Amino acid sequence: MTLDSNDNKKIKPITPLDEQQVTKNSHFLQSFGHAVEGIGQLLVRERNMRFHFFASVIVIYLGFHLRIGRQDWLWTAMAIFAVVMSEFVNTMIENMVDLIVGYEYHPLAKIAKDVAAGAVVFAVMFAMAVGVIVFYPYVLPIIEQLLNLKF
């Protein structure tokens, strides 16, 4: 699917109608291919997901660089997963609401979209708290050494 240049929400199919799949997937690789395509669509269409992906790469790099422990990796992975999954769900809800209501305003559609976006914010706050708790003991000695201070 491609985006219309005039409207980011309007989607045009890239395959002719007679070639679009409307039946159940016939085998695992077909299902897997659709899943990968969905992840790609999320990265292409959602600016916030690209930001979350970039932030995750930085956090993972810092984790390796600072040699964080196994338990810290588990918490870090959980935080990244929570943010990414909430962004997946947020995008699904936004697209389903848009499919149902189109370009009409409906108060329940607004609530659904706002709550889904709030879930992402909540997951990001969780990830930030985990990041502070996990990385503080590793970063504090570096800061002390740079500033030649003791806290």
Secondary-structure breakdown of the chain: helix, strand, coil percentages, each rounded to the nearest 5: 75, 5, 20
Alpha-carbon torsion (141, 144, 149, 151), positive or negative: negative
Catalytic hit among 87, 94, 104, 144: 87
Encode 58-88: b = buried (16+ Cβ within 10 Å), e = exposed: ebeebbeeeebeeebeebbeebbebbbebbb
**Could you give the 3-state DSSP secondary structure of residue 103?**
coil
Q: How far apart are the first and last CA of the chain?
A: 55
Active site includes 19?
Answer: no
Q: Running DSSP on this structure, what letter comes out for residue 148?
A: T
What residues act catalytically?
87
